[in-house]
Structure 1
């Protein structure tokens, strides 16, 4: 091959390399340009979104002196409250407020008529709704004590709104009414409450507390919804705490009700809880007297041997495990004990006349304690 041909080939190769380098530079420029544009768009969108949310969380009018009356109905959801506040001009954006509330894990908003201003900050509005700082005073307060059964709660409700007790009690057990509540509280009121062995579906589900009502004669549904809202608020953390055990709301309220009915003021509820769990683990019947009385529909100071023969699925002397459902409502102490029982080997307990509770591990120990503290009374 001549030197001219060799030179010519080298020149062609050199030109091709230069062309490739030029193309590579162009591609790099295009990629760089696209990357810069994409980054700028993302920054613009992100910055715009941030500014939008920031603006939506600011007061509607920080200089406003206007006070507006806003009524939050009983049983309102966060969505409903957000929309009501936006319609009233108290917040800028209902959706942003709702997601802010969920992000901050805020809950426990109280019904009532509030006096709010467009100048209020979001945290101040939330605090006002949580603490119940309302414009008007409550028309009355409904106090449901711990350890009350549904019929007793019906008496309290009936007296508060001047209705016949039977009318209230019948509605509390009305099947269509129960089903409407189940649709509203699917996480709380499950099909467990429709078990044919259940005496009263709402037994144990109306949380003991003092409830303010802002009109003189609320409906039975309004009162029940208020109590169920509180029940859901209180027991949800306990269900999350006991997630490893996979205890259901119905089981939790049932166990808590047994603890509530057995406990005296001086009793260690967590030890009582441990006795129940220990007996279940060993396949022993719970043999708790309050279930026998509940089966009979009676209130007695002392359970007799003849009472133990009552034929009922609630009779824990005859049937092992938990009864079909709660036998009363339970307070936070009993709920806590049901989720966090003491670590013991106790299988028995008995209450003395002084209210002390004696825990024992064996039947012989229990009988000895019973002979000393009960038989000779």
Structure 2
């Protein structure tokens, strides 16, 4: 016989079980939410003292979370990893960081993305030559000048860079007349490296990448002027070495282009000094006889390649020289002021007035 009472009891029992399950699930969800919400907050909001930690190169997001947990900077590495992936914030930097337990998870993520304390940092001034860059790197890292020069002139590395930046680095840099194939292509800027064990190859690659980034917007303008990248960088390096101020760069570039148009030698002193591998304020007559393809007193046209690393302003001047009839210029070494002339007679008069009488 069918008993409605038993059926009713069974139905109530199932409803009770279902209710218990739902309540348990809600408790678990609520607890999970509260735990995650708590994990997103600072471990100790009142403790501002920062700890220095090291994030190794190649660390994935969970490994970073584990390191943070070991230093008591976060509450749970899995919540950290989930949060980072959920917000697409996995582009973390390796290196040394200073973090505190007063920082929220979001603040820690932002700090890890921006980069920590630079393990290696240096500035390459405009016009710096590769030999000088080697000295700068040596001063601020564990690498010697010789190691830097060996890497920057390594044929395999150069070919790798040519393959990576075919629109910038061409066969022109491989001329046997060129002292350093990558001269002029290590952009003058401040560089910060957060991994103390960074390789020289990666360090130099960043400098070359910076040059590529700076040059890319000028491609159309350069092509209209019918200049190769190598010609542009060579001209810009001459302007950089001769310029004493921003206002003179376009005029100096115009003198060089005007002389090239008239098949006159450029006769710029910095090329002589580059040929001599020297740095001094004044070039004397005997210096002009140095036997080198870089000597623009002996050879017409541009030198084989850049004589230093030009900054962006000199690159712009080489692309947009002033429209002048000037064929000569000289700089007063005492004031830095540059004087321009259209004729040799005018130039000699300026030289007598501002140079010879002060020697």
TM-score using structure 1 length: 0.66
- Report the Cα distance in structure 1 between the residues aligned to 2:336 and 2:292, rounded to whole angstroms: 29
Indicate yes or no: 2:348 matched with 1:367: yes
8 Å contact kept, 1:172–1:202: yes
Partner residue in 1 for 2:283: 303
Partner residue in 2 for 1:231: 211
Partner residue in 2 for 1:344: 324
Indicate yes or no: 2:123 matched with 1:171: no
Indicate yes or no: 2:308 matched with 1:312: no
Residues 80-138 of structure 1: per-residue CA shift (max 9 Å, x gap): xxxxxxxx74678xxxxxxxxxxxxxxxx997689xxxx9xxxxx9xx89xx9515332
Displacement of 1:185? 1.7
Q: Secondary structure at the match of 2:241?
A: helix
For structure 2, the residue ranges without an aligned partner over 5 or more in a row are: 1-36, 42-54, 59-83, 98-105
Partner residue in 2 for 1:323: 303
Q: Structure 1 residues 135 and 282, CA, compared in 2 at 3 Å: closer, same or farther? A: closer
Matches within 5 A, 1:234-313: 234-265=214-245, 268-313=248-293
- Report the Cα distance in structure 2 between the residues aligned to 1:136 and 1:375, rounded to whole angstroms: 53
Partner residue in 2 for 1:155: 135
Partner residue in 2 for 1:357: 338
Q: Secondary structure at the match of 2:122?
A: strand
Residues 254-310 of structure 1: per-residue CA shift (max 9 Å, x gap): 001000001113751000000000000111110000001101111121111111111
For structure 1, the residue ranges without an aligned partner over 5 or more in a row are: 1-62, 74-87, 93-108, 120-124
Q: CA RMSD in A?
A: 3.3
TM-score using structure 2 length: 0.69
8 Å contact kept, 1:349–1:360: yes
Partner residue in 1 for 2:120: 140
8 Å contact kept, 1:295–1:314: yes
Partner residue in 2 for 1:217: 197
Displacement of 1:158? 1.8
How many correspondences in the alignment?
A: 278
Displacement of 1:139? 2.3
8 Å contact kept, 1:142–1:211: yes
8 Å contact kept, 1:112–1:134: no
Q: Paired residue for 2:312, among 319, 332, 340?
A: 332
Displacement of 1:225? 1.0
Indicate yes or no: 2:163 matched with 1:194: no
- Report the Cα distance in structure 1 between the residues aligned to 2:93 and 2:346, rounded to whole angstroms: 53
Moved over 4 A (4+): 70-73, 109-114
Displacement of 1:246? 2.2
- Report the Cα distance in structure 1 between the residues aligned to 2:272 and 2:129, rounded to whole angstroms: 14
- Report the Cα distance in structure 2 between the residues aligned to 1:110 and 1:137, rounded to whole angstroms: 14
- Report the Cα distance in structure 2 between the residues aligned to 1:293 and 1:371, rounded to whole angstroms: 23
